Amino acid sequence: MAAPPGLRQSGTTLTLERVSSPSFPAIRMRRTRAAPWSRALHAETRLAPTDLIWPLFVREGSGLEGEPIPTLPGVSRWSVQGIAERAQEAAALGIPCVALFPNTPRELRSPDGAEALDADNLVCRAIRAAKDAAPQVGVLTDVALDPYTSHGHDGVIDARGRVLNDETCERLVAQALNQAAAGCDVVAPSDMMDGRIGLIRAALESEGHQDVQIMAYAAKYASAFYGPFRDAVGASGVLKGDKRGYQMDPANAREALREVALDVAEGADSVMVKPGLPYLDVVARVRDRFDLPVFAYAVSGEYAMIEAAAAADMGDRDALVLETLLAFKRAGATGVLTYHAAHAARLLG
C-alpha cells in the first residue's frame, strides 16, 4: 500500500516529508461545503436586518393606504400616517433606519426650491410622525433641492440653466437645519455640490445639532438606473437637461476616492456610493482606502430589474434579493439602502 501524501515509507517506517504545497486529495474544498451547519460556520459574509436602510416615499393626503408606483412594483407612496406605520414595521422587523423622500406637489415646486425650507413640509411632518411612532428607529433625510424645484435640478440655476454651486450650498445648509430641527437623526446630502459637507457640519454644530449624523452621497454617479425613483418623487418630465455637470461620470473610479476624501475631511460620519451593483468596484476601493462606514444604495432601477425578472419567471425573487445584498456586504459595504429591505428582513427572520 502506498504511503499517504506527506509521508515517506521505508520498510515498515513512516516518516514526515515536506510538502511544497497542499493539493488534492489532501485538500478537498468541498469538505466544508457539504453540510448546512458547516456552510454556516465557514461563511465569510453575514447579512442581517440591521444591515438595511429602508427608503420610503412620502405623499400628501391622509389614510393608511399606500399609493402604488407602477415603475416600482411592490413600492408605494405613503401618507404621513402611513410613514408612521412603516416606521413601526421597521422596528418589528429589526430594520434600524428608514430614509424619507417626498413627492412634492407640482404647485409647491419653485425655481429656488423654497418648499425645502418650510418647517411643516412633507418631510418634516414625516420625520416627526416616524420618531413619535418608533423612537428607536433612525430617520435619514435627503438633502437636495430636486424634489422641490420646478426645473428638477438639485440646486439653484442661473439664466443659462447652470446649477450654481455656492448659492445652492447656502440653501442646502438651511434645508439640513430644517430637517434637523424636525428631529431627523441623519442628513444625507445627495446633491454633489462642492464644499457642502463642511458647511452643513459647521451649521449643525453651531445650531446645537451636534448629534445629527451626516451620511454623504460622496460618489453619486450620473446613472441611467434612477428612472423609477424620479417617477416615485414626481420628477419625471420636470427635469430640464441632465445632471452630468455635477454628478459623477460612470467612467471614473479614482475620482470617487477624491470625492470621498474631501467629504471625510469636511466632517462626514459615513459615505455612500450610488448606484450599487454597477459600482461594487468603487464600494470595495472606498472600503479599502478609508476607515469609516461605507454604504451603498441599491437604486430604483436595480430593484425594478429584480422584480421584472421574478415576474417573468426568470429568477427566484428571494434568492436574487439575498444574493444581491450579500454582494454589497462582500464588497465591503457597512449597510445597504434598498427598497427590498422589509422583504429581505422577513427572509432573514
Known catalytic residue at 220: yes
Residue whose C-alpha cell reads 434568492 in the numeric block: 319
DSSP letters of 241-270?
A: S-STTTSBPTT-SHHHHHHHHHHHHHT-SE
CA–CA distance, 72 with 227 (Å, rounded to integer): 10
Active-site residue identified among 131, 243, 274, 329: 274
Residue 108: how many other CB atoms lie within 10 Å: 18
Known catalytic residue at 274: yes
Q: Which of 140, 148, 284, 291 is nearest to 215 (CA)?
A: 140
Determine if residue 259 is labeled as part of a ligand binding site. Answer: yes
CB 284, CB 296: distance < 8 Å: no
Active-site residue identified among 131, 220, 243, 329: 220
Query: What percent helix, strand, coil does the chain show, rounded to 5?
Result: 40, 20, 40
Give the CA distances from residue 310 to residues 47, 70, 75, in Å, rounded to whole numbers and listed in that order.
22, 16, 15
Which grid coordinates belong to 153?
A: 435640478
Which grid coordinates belong to 140?
A: 435619514
Residues in the annotated binding site for Mg(2+)? 259
Question: Which parts are annotated binding residues?
Answer: 259
Active site amino acids: 220, 274
